Each structure stands twice: as structure tokens, then as C-alpha cells.
Amino acid sequence: MVFIARKSMQLIVAFFVLIAISALPALVVQMKINPASYWEGLKQQFVQLAKLDEITYFNVTAQQKFPLLPALRPFIQETLIIFTTAMMISAVSAILYVYLFYRSGKRTRQVLSQTTRTLEMVPDLFWVILSQFLVLYLFKTTGYDKIEIAGTYADSIRFLPILTLTLTTLFFFIKWLTTQVLGQESAPFLELARAKGMRSAALFWKHLLPTMFYRFYLFFRANIITVLSSQLIIEYTFEVQGLFRFILYNGDMPILMVILLLIYIPIFVLDLLAEWLIPNAWKGEI
């Protein structure tokens, strides 16, 4: 009951916060802060909640307005495909890297740490520019033209956005996992397992990794805004027909409110399922 009450309160608070954020454009009128205008905008947002089916957006291609909710489906699909694919590849790659780090000697660890530390400092736009440059170079040298460097209103682009988002988050994940390995490898439960003759591979996969799983989930949840901001940049620069690029070109307050809710509610549901399904044994003392 405590868990349900806590999550219910979290959902209610988040709901009001998102509505308040979506009304922020009304706060500034003619380059001046106007609280009265913001209050009116806030009331309009709550009224609009009862008329979600009446919200429209302007379609540039057709030069006319269309209902918002049916039209958002392909944009949601593109964003979801890129996000989930990149996160899965990043997480698996980071875990494999950390396993290699765990099994390596001191010198190899130093090289790996210095390399990943340097790559982690690379800004998101660098990976965008580098990937596009490599595709153009590949085309000029070999004539291979199957990789698109930008999307259009008719065609979707996925390979480079997924690759870029993967690289952006990969070194972010690696840094955290490496720190956890260094902090946990001398833990008493691992020392006990070594004393019983358990091999290093079994130690990592059966003991060390499960103890990091829940912490990694909490780390990812705390930094979800950073990951989503990276996707926003990637969708804009690659002209992906995704949800984040859509809001950049359709910034009306009702549309902003709907998209914020569409982003938050699935995250909330996944968080609810994760908290419920992750075994207590994996949560340790957290």
C-alpha cells in the first residue's frame, strides 16, 4: 500500500508539473514576464485537457491543419525505434566492456580508462558531424550511397541516429559501470566467492552484475533527461521525423502539453514495472 500511495502521489505531482511547464510560453509577453498571462495560459491548458481530440497542428506539406493525436503515431514510432535500439546496444556494449575491464590487468585497465575518459568528453555534435563526414567520404571513395545522412518528410532515417545516440550514451554508461566495478570488486561477498574457488567469469555474471543491475537502473532513471536531450539534438540535426523534432516545429502550448504527457506516462509505467519486478535480492541495501 505504501508503494502504491507513493507512486500515485508521484504521478499526480508530475502531472501538475508537466502542465505548468507546458504553459511556460505564456509567461513571456513582448519580451516581458507577465504572471497574469501565465495564469490564463495555465487555466487554458487544464480546459484543453477535456478537449484533447480538438487539438490540431499545421502540416507544412499539406498546408492545412490536422488532428494532433492520430498524426503523432508515426513520429512516436520513429523516436521509440531509435531510442530503444540505441539504449539496448549501449547497455549490452557497456556491460561487455566492463566484463573485459574486470578481467584485465592493471596496465590494460589504465589504457581502457584513459581511452573511455577521453571519448566521454566528446560532445554530441561531434559524433553527428563525424558520422555524416564518414558517410560522405565512403560515398566519394567507393560510390556506396545506401546510407542516408538526413531524413525527409517522406523517408525516415535510422542508422546514423541510432549509431550517434549509441555512441553518445555508451561512454556515459561505461564510466558509471567501471566506477561500480572498481568499488565492488573487493566486496566481502566476492572475496567469499573467490575463497570457495569460483572463477572470475562466474563472479562477474552471477554475483557482481546482479548487484549493479538495480543501481544501473537508478542511474539511468536519474539521467533520462540527459539522454532525451541528446535524442532531441540528434533528431533535429539528422532531420528525423520523430517526436522531438515535431515539437520544435509545432510549439503551441496544447501540443507541448500532449507531447510532455506522452513522453512521461510510458516512462512512469516502465518505472512502476521495474520497481515491482526487480527482485529485492538485486536491490541490496538500496
Residues 47 and 221 sit within 8 Å (Cβ to Cβ): no
Q: What is the DSSP string of 56-92?
A: EEEETTTTEEEEHHHHTHHHHHHHHHHHHHHHHHHHH
Do the beta carbons of residue 263 and residue 228 sit within 8 Å? yes
Greater model confidence, 154 or 61: 61
Structure confidence at residue 286 as a pLDDT band (50, 70, 90):
very low
Strand, coil or helix: 197: coil
**Does the pLDDT at position 262 exceed 60?**
yes
Residue 1: band (very low, low, confident or very high) from pLDDT cuts 50, 70, 90: low
Q: How far apart are CA 46 and CA 16, in angstroms?
A: 10
Q: Are 66 and 59 contacting, i.e. CB atoms less than 8 angstroms apart?
A: yes
Q: How far apart are CA 185 and CA 12, in angstroms?
A: 41
Specify burial of residue 64 (Cβ count, 10 A radius: 0-12, 13-18, 19+).
exposed
Question: CA–CA distance from 48 to each of 45, 54, 56, 58 (Å)?
Answer: 5, 8, 12, 18
**pLDDT of amino acid 3:** 72
Residue 84 has a pLDDT of 94
pTM, 2 dp: 0.86
- For 41-81, write each residue's pLDDT tens digit: 999 999 988 888 888 888 877 778 888 888 898 899 999 99
Fold for domain 86-248? MetI-like fold (1.10.3720)
**Domain map (residue ranges) of the chain:** 86-248
The residue type at 150: A
